[in-house]
Amino acid sequence: MRCTLLVLLVTVGVASAAKRDYPYTPVPFTAVKVGEGFWRPRMKTNREVTVWYDFKKCEQTGRIANFARAGGLEKGGFQGIYFNDSDVVKVIEGAAYCLALAPDKKLDRYLDGLIAKIAAAQEDDGYLYTARTINDPKYRYPGMEGRWKHLGGGHELYNVGHMYEAAVAHFQATGKRSLLDVAIKNADLVCKTFGPGEGQIVDVPGHEEIEIGLVRLYRVTGEAKYLRQAKFFIDMRGRKDKRGRIYGTYCQDHQPLVEQTEAVGHAVRGGYLYAGVADVAALTGDEGYIRAIDRIWQDVVDRKLYVIGSVGQHGAGEGYAGAWKLDNLKAYNETCAAIALALWNHRMFLLHGEAKYADVLERILYNGFLSGISLSGDKFFYPNPLACDMSFRFNHGSLERSAWFGCSCCPVNIVRFLPSIPGMVYARRGDAAFVNLFVAGEAGIDLPGGSVRLTQQTDYPWSGKVRITVTPAGTGEFALHVRIPGWTRNQPVPSKLYTVKADERIDWKPAWKVNGKEQSAPLVKGYAVIRRTWRAGDTVELDLPMAPQRVLSHENVESNRGRVAVTRGPIVYCAEGADHGGNVLNLYLPDDAKLTAEHRAKLLGGVTVLTGQAQSARRGADGKPTSDPARLTMIPYYAWCHRGANEMQVWLPRTRRLAKLPPLPTIASTSRTSYSHKHGPDTAAAMNDQQEPSSSADHGIPRFTWWDHRGTAEWVQYEFAKPQKVSSVEVYWFDDTGRGQCRVPKSWKLLYRAAGKWKPVATTGPFGTARDKYNRVEFDPTTTDAIRLEVQLQGEFSGGILEWKVK
């Protein structure tokens, strides 16, 4: 009986709705030609740099060899992490999109070779998971105990979900079935293995993604069982009655989906689930699904969305931290989470046809997503915080953009998402064409009355001017729906989470010109609706009111109280150290400071910056806080951290109270620091920044090291602002025994400068090399303008300093 009910549960809807789909149909990215403007150079870099760079990294890190080894094409064990298969297929998906847009024989051949390895790795019955197939006794991972035994933590279904997406993309781009056949064989095994029937397994993937992949496979093959399978995996979530165990909120597996009301758990998993639910809802008409994702979406935009359009906080398992928890320094905002959120919001538009979903999508694209990739296309952020204090190493241990990560889901997600963005610009329904994003270029849209070409000319997001030229095949009546962004109505996001400061609200009545004549009408679901009989060459012009605006956060967001973010159009701005002598956390922006926009074509790939007069807080001679006027330059958030590691802040204090005061002036803090050698990412300022180490292995504060010099004699020195009488120093050594190759030095000594010559200080020592404490040396009081610390590093090791005090 239970089984019969289950069958009903998962089959109802599919059979009766063969032709049902999203009410709004996206215009595919292959029908959209991106012209000269903001996105074209980024797509070019993605195609020419990132695709090959990611493949090279996949080769260097054994990700590709894993397929060859599982397939018996080469000998060797498993390398990396058990979900690394997914990285390779994600790059294939991105490469396939590039191939669909422009032929590339070299890339096509490369994919053929790679796919042959993947096909070889597939077991006879269709199973594909190299970690398990190689079964390396030296490599233990969740699920070693057997197939499908650890779906909560293992990624068997996650990996192949991405593989299905890649296979469909590759098939559509090249017409080749090589990867598609692998996908079908695997999906058939999954369908046979999981389900309500006799001998089948009732379980769900801990990391969602296969739902989206199965739907794509259904769309290209027409095989309803793939859609049913996606629905099964969704329906079985959070069902204690049907399954032996459930995986909890982290995996959105705490309640049946149709009862869920809040976005919880791992933010990438959540985004993929909600996107997959939207797909299945569109194809089956399941109202319960739609109600659930509507509620969850509202929860996100009301209480959990960062102003840059991303989600997740450190300390919350790469996920949602709860309502109003939007810490800036500890913002996680995984690049993958931004992508998942974008995929979901695009689908919400396709379901409901409302511009507010495109408002969120646009915010993600220009901010929380785009920050994840460097202008050069080969440096990445995994988390995307809204502040950097040069202490919290937010980017998986780094303060800068990284070349790669051990878990490298983000770089390979960017490479597949970026070329698909043109597919989110336009849509159609009935005899209406929709313009959701302002992207220069042209698109062909099929409407019932014939095809229509839309050409956009625009410098968006720097300018609000957009000119759309309409060219129908003949003469035809249809409606053009042009999105009027929420930010023109002072709504940074479609909720009360963020508001524009009262005196900076834009007072603009939505208006547009048709063939030069001004028109205005109430918006419909956020769109200007222009219905007429169109003739070739007709134009629609927008002049969206772009102005710098201070944005305030809902009072419940504690971390943003007393602070403002600054936006202009869809772009969120930040202040970065590079424009302010290194520090920005000491800055505050008084409410009456005017901000002016200025385009700088040569800065950071061409950006519009905002400048104005801010204040810089400091300590006066009496040690009390005071401030000085400071020139403020704000750059688009997405473009930060291209000029070295430095401080950054999105939410600026409005008053001095929240500005960070520089350290108390001491002999050390006012000294000029120099050294014999320094490891690139380290900072010499670590030695005199007055950040107290918790231990010699403290990785949470800035450090200075001589890495990668080992066993050498090295030095650092302080040159004083003016001659000082000094009589002691305290040194806190950096030593990461058990993790890295830095140790306390073998020995050291202290010199002072007299008449340009270095002389040893007069002391009987000792020169301590103890870990986890300050090593103090007193000496005869000496008046000098500089002191130098010389070390002899231990044989095979390097060394470093966390703090060095002088008195």
- Which residues participate in catalysis according to the annotation? 318, 409
**Nearest residue to Zn ion, scored by beta-carbon proximity:** 336
Identity of the residue, 316 or 632, whose beta carbon is nearer to Zn ion in the bound complex: 316
Sequence-distant (≥ 6) Cβ neighbours of residue 733 within 8 angstroms: 696, 744, 745, 769, 770, 771, 775, 799, 800, 801, 802
CB of 570 to Zn ion, least distance (A): 23
Q: Which one, 319 or 569, has the nearer CB to Zn ion?
A: 319
Interaction pattern, residues 65-104, with Zn ion; x per rule: CB under 5 A: ----------------------------------------
Residue 306 CB neighbour total at 10 angstroms:
31
**CA–centroid distance for 668 within its chain:** 38
Helix (H, G, I), strand (E, B) or coil at 261: coil
Least Cα distance to 443 among 20, 19, 23, 25 occurs for 25
Distance in Å, CB of 92 to Zn ion, minimum: 17
Is residue 202 left, alpha or beta, with left meaning phi > 0 and alpha meaning psi from -120 to 50? beta
Q: Which residue has the tokens 């003949």?
A: 474
Q: Report in angstroms how near the CB of residue 388 gets to Zn ion at its nearest.
A: 19
Which residues are within 8 A (CB) of 439 and not within 5 positions of it... i.e. 6 or more apart? 32, 34, 37, 38, 39, 421, 422, 425, 456, 458, 460
Q: 285: Cβ–Cβ under 8 A, 6 or more apart, which residues?
A: 13, 17, 20
CB of 377 to Zn ion, least distance (A): 17
Query: Of the two residues 382 and 651, which places its CB atom closer to Zn ion in the complex?
Result: 382
Q: Which stretch binds Zn ion (CB under 5 A): 114-122, 403-411, 497-505, 528-536?
A: 403-411
**Pairing mode of beta strands 713-734, 672-675:** antiparallel
Closer Cβ to Zn ion, 416 or 483, answer by number: 416
Nearest of 261, 446, 416 to residue 342 by alpha carbon:
416
**By C-beta, is 417 or 434 nearer to Zn ion?**
417
Regarding 311 and contact with Zn ion (CB under 5 A), the answer is no
Residue 73 sits at the vertex; the CA angle it makes with 72 and 74, to the nearest 5 degrees, is 90
| 103 token code pair | 């032929």
- Shortest distance, CB of residue 314 to Zn ion, whole angstroms? 14
Tell me how far apart the alpha carbons of residues 355 and 424 are, in angstroms, rounded to a whole number: 12
Cα distance between residue 467 and residue 435, in whole Å: 12
How many residues in the chain?
A: 807
Judged by beta carbon, residue 300 or residue 336, the one nearer Zn ion is: 336
Closer residue to Zn ion (CB): 410 or 432: 410
**427 scored as a contact of Zn ion (CB under 5 A):** no
Q: Minimum distance between the CB of residue 173 and Zn ion, rounded to whole angstroms?
A: 24
Determine contact, residues 775/730, Cβ cutoff 8 Å. Answer: yes
Nearer to Zn ion, 334 or 647 (CB): 334
Question: Terminal CA-to-CA distance of the chain, rounded, Å?
Answer: 82
Q: Which is nearer to Zn ion, 351 or 410 (CB)?
A: 410
Please tell me whether residue 734 adopts helix, strand or coil conformation: strand
Task: Determine if 173 is a binding residue for Zn ion (CB under 5 A).
Answer: no
Residue 410 binding Zn ion, by CB under 5 A: yes
The yes or no reply on residue 409 touching Zn ion (CB under 5 A) is yes
Pairing of strands 548-553, 517-519: unpaired
Among candidate residues 206, 208, 210, 245, the one with its CA nearest the CA of residue 229: 210
The alpha helices in 14-79, defined as continuous H runs, are 39-45, 51-60, 63-70
> Residue 411 CB, nearest distance to Zn ion (Å)?
8
* Closest C-alpha among 161, 6, 193, 196 to residue 85: 161
Nearer to Zn ion, 412 or 540 (CB): 412
- Number of chain positions touching Zn ion (CB under 5 A): 4
Q: ∠ CA(551), CA(543), CA(613), 5° rounding?
A: 40
Window of 285-293, 354-362, 405-413, 707-715 that interacts with Zn ion by CB under 5 A: 405-413
Stretch in the footprint of Zn ion (CB under 5 A) among 234-242, 406-414, 613-621, 795-803: 406-414
- When the beta carbons of 410 and 546 are compared against Zn ion, the nearer one is 410
Stretch that binds Zn ion, among 241-249, 307-315, 401-409, 751-759 (CB under 5 A): 401-409
Q: In the complex, what is the shortest distance from the CB of residue 134 to Zn ion, in angstroms, rounded to a whole number?
A: 24
Per CB under 5 A, which of residues 324..343 are in contact with Zn ion?
A: 334, 336
Nearest approach in angstroms of CB 209 to Zn ion is: 12
Q: How far apart are CA 520 and CA 61, in angstroms?
A: 57
Q: Whole-angstrom Cα distance, residue 172 to residue 420?
A: 13
CB of 478 to Zn ion, least distance (A): 41
Residues 585-624 that bind Zn ion (CB under 5 A): none
Query: At its nearest, how many Å lie between Zn ion and the CB of residue 383?
Result: 9
What's the per-residue H, E or C state across 162-194? HHHHHHHHHHHHHCCCHHHHHHHHHHHHHHHHE
Site residues, Zn ion (CB under 5 A): 334, 336, 409-410
